[in-house]
Structure formats: structure tokens, C-alpha cells
A and B are shown apart, each in its own frame.
Chain A
Amino acid sequence: MPSTDYQGSSSPLTNLGRSFLPLRRDQVHSMESPIGGSPSNEAELESFQRQVADRFHDLASVPSDELLSLPWVRKLIDAFLCCQEEFRVILFNNRTPVKKPPMDRLIADYNERAVKALDVCNAIRDGIEQIRQWQKLIEIVLCALGGDNNSYQRSLGEGQFRRARKALVDLAIAMLDEKDSGQALAHRNRSFGRHNNSSSHSKDHHHRSLGHFRSLSWSVSRSWSAARQLQAIGNNLAVPRGNEVLATNGLAMPVYTMGSVLLFVMWALVAAIPCQDRGLQVHFNFPRQFPWAAPIISLHERILEESKKRDRKNACGLLREIYQMEKCSRLLGELADSVQFPLNEEKEKEVKQRVNELKQVSDAMKEDLEPLEKQVREVFHRIVRNRTEGLDSL
């Protein structure tokens, strides 16, 4: 069976379509396979398992500095979309048995999980938007301290440092988890007050931070919880029993596989990107007999481990670029706090170095954030499309 590549199309019509699969009724019948499993059916199912396994082996074989980076997350979503397409083809090729119990119930279960994933997609988009806002603050820092391409070589003055410091403080507050923002505000006023010329400023800044950016509950309801949603997606996700496998002629397996992949991918996204009530305690239990289980479990462990590290425990998202952003900006902030004017050459070099580091992170994010958002939208649309198609063709 040929491997299917997901076509990242921007045309809304293919989101709706009937994309590359012919779904006209006359062609449908000719593709139905007989109920009693044929060799092609078995080969198809096996191929699917292998494809999934290959993709996740690929994802799992990255070094730790690449894990949960933006390019990696994009690859993860790509992998998901491919798996989903192949799954769709399998269902399509086995239309008749799919309608019969217990397969119909299994499919209905999977569909329910997929719908829950839609809200996760929306929440993730909110998180990406948050990151974009941080990006804007970083650009101010870069502009102030000569890290952008527009400024010519000049020595940095106090005014520029103050500008950078202000943006860095704003960034630090914005990056804290929403629940901590009350404390953060107090901290920030204190730290800013040190460099203030006028005490009236701190009072003015009071209004500022809250509601500063598009909050994480822009697209989801206020009571929505990523943690709960993940748990719901994983709810009752059980390995098919022997009789189920027999009764469905093996089709129960890809359904279980797709459900597991869905769960893991959503979990990883929640882990990486800031979202509302971002809890990672979800029960994963994938039996090792599946070829894809090992890499997924390994990824799961590695990500969990990352989340428990001392300096990442309170992170709002485990995305590597967030970590780098936070680290770079913190170091730069400390540096900026400590400088005396006029700057000596050594300090200036140090500042330039830190600014360059920050610029690298910023550039990386600039390149990947928008495509990432597009991919998440694609996931959303694919899921909806598969659901709306489901009624017509099945």
C-alpha cells in the first residue's frame, strides 16, 4: 500500500472534499472488499501499523535538544495527519464491515475522541497566539539593543536599556502561568520601580498586564480544562479483545491505534504549548506488542521527565523555544539590570552576545510559528471533514 502524504493545502475546497479519494458512489462499490478478510485486507492493516511505527520511531530518535522544538512539533503533527489519512483509506476500503457491530461502536468511540480533540486544537491556537505576543516583546528588546537588522552600530545608551528592560519585564510576566500572575504583578512593580524616576508610574502599570494579550480562554469556555479533555480523549481507550478483533476481521486494531495516536499527539501538543489548565497526568497504557508502542512510550517518558525538571516545572509550555526564550531573556534581563553607564567594552560585548542568542531564538520562532498554526488548523479541518464525510460514505 502506497504511503500517503498529507497534502498541506490551503484551499478550503480540499478541506471539504472529496480530496484525493474518489468518493463517488459508483466507484465506492468497486472498492469494497469482501466481508471475509482477504489477504489484501491483512496486508493493509499490517502496513498501517508499520507506517505508524516508522513515523514515531523517526520522531523518537531525535536528540534531547530537538525534542519538543518547533520543527519537531510540526513533524509530529505531520505524522498525525498522515496516519489519519491512512486510517481514512482503511475505513473506506472496508466500508461494509465498518457498518456492522461491533465495528460501528468502535468507530463511534473514535469519532467521539476526535471531536474532543477539536477543542484541544482551538486551545492550542490560543497558545500559539500567546507565543506570538511574546515574540513581539522580544522584537522590542532586539530593536532597543541593536539586535535587529535596522539599527546601525552605535553604543547603547541608558534609554535603550530601559526600553529593553521594560519589555523584558513585560515578557517575564506574560510568560508566567496565568494562575501566578497576581504575584507576578507585585514582583514586577517592585523591580520596575527601582529604575523609575517617578513613583506614579507603578500605579499606572497596574492596569496593564491583565487582559494584556489574548487570553488562553479566548476560544474555549472559561471552565474548559486541557487536562480533563485529555483524560476524556483517553477514556476507555482499551486494547481490543480477541473476540472483537475476530468479529471485526482485524479492523479493531487500526481503530485502537488511531485512538492512541490521537491521544498521544494531543497530549504532546498540550505539553508543548501553553493552554488552559495544562495538566499532563494522563494514563497511558500501550501494550508493547504494537510496533508503535515503544517509540510513543519512550517519547512520553522523555517529555514527562522534561516537565519535572527543576527549571521547567512551572513552565507554561515545554516547547524548546519557550525555554530558550525564557532563559535568554532572563539572562539578558539580569545583565541589563547590572550594567553601569557608560558601558565598558567587555560589557558591551556581553550584551551583544546575549542579544544575538535572543535573536536566534526569535528568528527560529518567526519561521515556524505561522506554519505551526496553519497545521493545527488543518488538523481541525481534517477531523471535521472526516466526520462529515463519514455520514455520506459509510
Chain B
Amino acid sequence: MGKSQNGENLGTETVSDGGDEQNNPDELSSEPGFKFDQILKDVDQFIETLDSGENNFTCIDQFLEMVDSEIAAYELRKASAKFGLNMEEFFEAVKLLWTIIRRLEELPSDSGATSCLNRAGSEHHRAMLLLENEFRTLLDINTDRNEGETKLKTVEEFPYFSPESVSIMNRIGSTMIFAGYEAECCIAYSGLRLKALDAELSKLSFENINVDDAERMSWESLEVEIGNWLHIMKHCTNNLFSEERTLCNSVFSEHPSIAQRLFCELSTSLTMRLLNFPNALVLPRQYSTEKLFKFLDIYEALRDLNNMEIGNYLSAKEFMSDTFTVQCRIGETAVSIFSQLENSIESDNAGRIPVAGGAVHPLTRYTMNYLKYACEYKDTLEQVFQKHNEMEGLTVQKVQENYIEKDDRFLPASPFALKLVEVMDLLDANIEMKSKLYRSPSLRYIFLMNNGRYILQKLKESTDIYDMLGHSWSRKRTSELRQYHKLYQRDTWSNVLQTISHEGVQVNGKVSKPILKERFKNFNALFEEILKTQSTWVVSDGQLKSELRVSISSVMIPAYRSFVGRFQSYFDNSKQAGKYIKYQPEDIEELIEQLFEGNTTSMIRRS
């Protein structure tokens, strides 16, 4: 004390009694020099020997005199630059003053301390006022700019205080709290921080949207607001709250419970504003299935908010309860949107007109892509459905269907996984129903294969769905596909194969030419019919298409080759042979490659 920052003794300037403007402000606090020290020593000693007997309050008076002039000097300084580098002495003096007051108050009322006490009290309040004003000025960054006074150094990032400012605020806060002015300190802090947070939100283009207005907004407008809200929430949970907490802890580093309380209150206030919008979104409205993802985003933002450690103070309970309530409601909304998927699958019967060429149905595409996208939110959806079940009091029955095979183990399925299975079952049933619209069994099987294959393909692309449905589900599907394949083969090609069967060509041990001619005629007719029809059918999956063709070829071509090989010589001449044997085995091979191309030369046929 009494020395400048670099340790030099700053001379013997006399104590002036009202603040000497000519003094260098930075050296002000060192002005009383060694006399300051002496006074403090005297006071310390005085306090120690304080008793109810005779007391000489002279040294106290001197001390008060000194403090008075210090305060006056500080008051004259410009706002926001009051406390420079040597303020520590002043704070110590203020604290000492409070200590004196407390000690004096303990004395009985007749000890003659009254006038001294009174004067001390006045100085004390004056000092507190000084501190409070300075505290406010430091906290209220914007004011500086408006007033055009010397700007405090600020930093670019929220909350924009330089470490020096924070340090000074810390000292002021500690002193005020020590000296019984905690209330004023906290009111100032809360009020100005709230104002700053408000300004920060405005910078992020946050605006209060009344519930009433939100309810009437179109989805397009809502979507914009949701995007904005999500952005702001992210900023709050990632930056704002933690920065604010850090500030609280820095300013009130010596009083962690106060820091905690103030932070709790601030974050609760802030959250209240943020929750208003999602509360409006859960009011009933027809949300179509695609809106699911926005709601899941909102759910996740609320979950992140809820997961923040706000602390244990009372208002934290309110914060968490409110956040949790909205989060649940949003979750419920998400559940109902997802459930609409089931409704739309069930009710989709496409006007009873089957898809041309047995192709993959748009509903299949939509559903699988939807589910694939949804599973990117898998964890969130699991949570949402879990919560939904809890609230509905639903329990998953421990039956075999509700166990899903994963890595050779059978695990109970989560509510969402079960939901997924439900959706898939509905889709299956719908595809099944639609397949019956085809009069031709073969086309029916092609349709079933197309859609089944598409589903399996999509599953492969998303391990999440695959895992949730489990191995046995996929295995079952795959074997079903194989079954359809066989059925198709039989339905389309067995008749054809019969025409080129070696059996029944002979009559009484001799090859019958009429039968042979009939056979070839039939073969050609059937084959051409199939070609004509089934070339218009569609198999979009390249692999499935080639599998089909290959399995047809592998049966047809050897059979045909062998038939032709065996019986073509029975024709009289090559001209006659040519009339009946329209196709060579190589031709058959080529023509089979035309199957399932979806040639649109013919109209939609139910054949």
C-alpha cells in the first residue's frame, strides 16, 4: 500500500480534504502515503482494544476523514474509469469501515459512539453508492458508447467484458456483499444482465411470437420461425448459457452460492421466453408426415437445453419442469405425426388401379425413404416413443414377436422398433392387397418381387432400420422373395416348358409329325405372348432383373436347344423346318434379355 504499481514510493503529498484535481488519478489512492498505513494501523488496534468503557474515537474520526476524501476524489472521476490499478486499498478501507460499524454497533448506546457511528454509517452508504454506480456502469456496456465517455476496453465475444472490467466488478461485488449491500449488488447485476441477454437475443433476430399469432401462421411462415428458433437455441445451449455462467462465477468468485442463484434466475428467465414458441406449436393442427423431422429437431434442441446443468437453486426446478413439459409435448406431437404414416399406408389403395408393369409402388418408395430418413433420428425417436409408452401406461408384452434377433441374441424390442415393425407390416399388407389387383399371377409375383426387393435394398442402405427389424425379419423376407421367384417361374414358364418337353412327342414309339408341328406352334405362340406382355413389365432393380433373366434362360435355353436338337431332323426339309422352328436357341437367349424392360409400346394391361 502507498506504492505505485512498480513499487516506487510516491512521495509525501499531503492529504487534501476534498479531492485535489491536480493529483494524478492513478496515484490518488497512494496519495496519503504512509499516513494511510498509520491510520489503518491505529484503527486496527483501536478495534482490538474496544471495550465498553472509555473510548477515544479520534482515530476513527481520522479514518473517516480519509475515507471521505477518497470517496470524494473517486466521485469526481469520470464514470467507468473510477477504479484504476490501485483500487485495492480503497476496497480494503471500505471493508474496514464496515467492520468498524459492526463493532461500534455492539457497544451499548451510552458509550458515546453514536455520533461516530452515525458518521461512519453515512460514509458507508456513500461508499456503497459509489461502488454500485461504478458496478452498474461497468455492467452496462452500451451506456458508455451513448455517453461518449472513455470506452472501457471490450472484447469481441459475448459478454464483451475485458478481463480488467470483470476483475473490478469482482472486487466491487465482494466488497458490497461483505459490507451488507448484497441486495443492491444482485439487483443491479440481474437487471443489467437481463438487459444484455435481451440485446443479445435481439441480435440473433429473436422476437417474441404470441401464442395466438403462432396458431394462425401458415406452415411456410412457421417453418422459417422454427429454423430461426433452432438456430437461437443452439447458440444459447452452446454459448450463451455457459458464457453467462462463467461471467457469474467470475464476478462472484468468492460467493459461489450467489453466483449459482443469479445464474439460475437468469437462465430461467431466458428459457421462459424461448419455450413460448414450441408451446404454441403443439396446439392441434394437421401436420403432414414430412413435418416430423422439424419436430424432432425441436425435441433435440429442448433436450439439449434440459440437459444443461442449471444448478440446484429453486428456480432451476421451474426451469426444468417447464422445459421437460414442452419437450414431452413436442415428443407427443412427433408420435402423432409418425402415426399418420400408418394411417396413410392403410388408406392408400390408389383408386384400385395397379401400378403399370408391376413396378415399385410410389407408396413403397415413399415409406422406405421416409423411414430411412427417420432413422437418422433413431436415438431421438427411441426416446420419444419410450416416453410415449410410459405416459400411456403401455407395456411391451413379452411375447416372441416382440423380441428381435440381433447378433445371434434375442433382445426385447424397443417401442420404436416395434412401431417400425408395425409400419412394415402395414406396408406389407398394403402391397399384398395391391398385388391382388393384378389378374395375372405372374405379374402379381413380379410386383411382389419388385417391392420386396426395393424394401430389402433400402434396409441394406440403412443399418439402423436393419438392426431394429432384426436378422430374422430380413431372412424371412429374403426367403419370401425366393418363393415368389419360383412361383413366377412356374406360372409363366411351366406351360412353355411343357411344349418343348420330350415326352408325348412319340406315338406308338414313333415321333409324330403332327404333334411336333403342334408343339412348335404352341411354343412360338406362348413364347411370343410372353414376350409381348412381359417386355412391358418393369423390374427396376438391375440385380433382380438379371437374376430373373438368368434363371429363365438357364432353364429355357437348354430345354429348347435339346428339343430342337432332337426333333428338328424330323421335318421334311429345311423350309418346313423353318416354318415351325421360328427361333434358334441363340434367338431365345436374346429375346429373354428383352423381358422386364418396361417397353411402353403397349397400354396398361391386365393380362
List A residues at the B interface (Cβ < 8 Å). Answer: 10, 12-13, 15-18, 115-116, 118-119, 122, 125, 129, 133, 136-137, 139-140, 143, 152, 154-155, 157-160, 162-163, 166-167, 197-198, 200-201, 203-205, 207-208, 211-214, 217-222, 224, 229, 232, 341-342, 377, 380-381, 384, 387-388, 390-391
Given contacts A157-B118, A197-B126, contact A116 B212 (CB under 8 A): yes
Q: Is the CB of A13 within 8 A of B118?
A: no
Q: How far is B194's CA from A338's CA once the two chains are assembled, in angstroms?
A: 36
Q: How far is B129's CA from A140's CA once the two chains are assembled, in angstroms?
A: 14
Given contacts A122-B211, A122-B276, contact A208 B118 (CB under 8 A): no
Q: Which residue of A lies closest to B270 (CB)?
A: A218
Q: Is the CB of A140 within 8 A of B121?
A: no
Closest 5 CB pairs of A and B: A159-B121, A159-B125, A157-B121, A157-B118, A211-B195
Q: How far is B329's CA from A387's CA once the two chains are assembled, in angstroms?
A: 12
Q: Is the CB of B114 within 8 A of A136?
A: no
Q: Is the CB of B391 within 8 A of A218?
A: no
Q: Which residue of B lies closest to A163 (CB)?
A: B125
Q: B166-211: which residues lie under 8 A (CB-CB) from chain A?
A: 180, 183-184, 186-187, 191-192, 194-195, 198, 207-211
Chain B nearest CB from A26 CB (Å) reads: 13
Given contacts A10-B321, A12-B328, A384-B279, contact A229 B284 (CB under 8 A): no
Q: How far is B280's CA from A119's CA once the two chains are assembled, in angstroms?
A: 10
Q: Is the CB of A12 within 8 A of B321?
A: yes
Further pairs besides A232-B212, A342-B114: 19, Cβ < 8 Å: A12-B321, A16-B329, A17-B391, A115-B212, A118-B212, A125-B272, A136-B186, A139-B183, A140-B183, A155-B114, A159-B120, A200-B75, A207-B140, A211-B194, A221-B213, A224-B208, A224-B210, A380-B279, A388-B282
Query: What are 27 A-B pairs at a CB distance below 8 A?
Result: A10-B321, A12-B321, A13-B328, A16-B328, A16-B332, A18-B392, A122-B276, A125-B272, A133-B187, A143-B183, A157-B122, A159-B120, A163-B125, A166-B129, A207-B136, A211-B195, A213-B194, A214-B269, A218-B272, A218-B273, A221-B209, A224-B208, A229-B212, A341-B118, A380-B279, A381-B325, A384-B283
Q: Which residue of B lies closest to A233 (CB)?
A: B212
Given contacts A157-B118, A201-B129, A384-B329, contact A115 B283 (CB under 8 A): yes
Q: Is the CB of B283 within 8 A of A12?
A: no
Q: Inside 8 A of B133's CB, which chain A residues have their CB?
A: 201, 204-205
Q: B85-133: which residues lie under 8 A (CB-CB) from chain A?
A: 105, 109, 114, 117-118, 120-126, 128-129, 133
Q: Inside 8 A of B109's CB, which chain A residues have their CB?
A: 154-155
Q: Inside 8 A of B128's CB, which chain A residues have their CB?
A: 163
Q: Which residue of A lies closest to B134 (CB)?
A: A204
Q: How far is B215's CA from A232's CA once the two chains are assembled, in angstroms?
A: 15
Q: Is the CB of A221 within 8 A of B121?
A: no
Q: Inside 8 A of B105's CB, which chain A residues have their CB?
A: 152, 154
Q: Inside 8 A of B392's CB, which chain A residues have their CB?
A: 18
Q: Inside 8 A of A140's CB, which chain B residues have their CB?
A: 183-184
Q: How far is B272's CA from A220's CA once the two chains are assembled, in angstroms?
A: 11
Q: How far is B325's CA from A91's CA once the two chains are assembled, in angstroms?
A: 25
Q: Inside 8 A of A136's CB, which chain B residues have their CB?
A: 183, 186-187
Q: How far is B122's CA from A342's CA once the two chains are assembled, in angstroms?
A: 13
Q: Which residue of B lies closest to A140 (CB)?
A: B183
Q: How far is B215's CA from A387's CA once the two chains are assembled, in angstroms?
A: 12
Q: Which residue of A lies closest to B72 (CB)?
A: A198
Q: Is the CB of B122 within 8 A of A159?
A: yes
Q: Inside 8 A of A119's CB, which chain B residues have their CB?
A: 210-212
Q: Which residue of B lies closest to A126 (CB)?
A: B272
Q: Inside 8 A of A13's CB, which chain B residues have their CB?
A: 328, 391
Chain A nearest CB from B545 CB (Å) reads: 46
Q: How far is B198's CA from A152's CA once the two chains are assembled, in angstroms?
A: 41
Q: Is the CB of B284 within 8 A of A388?
A: yes
Chain B nearest CB from A51 CB (Å) reads: 27
Would you call B81 an interface residue if the criterion is a C-beta within 8 Å of the partner chain's C-beta atoms?
no
Chain B nearest CB from A127 CB (Å) reads: 13
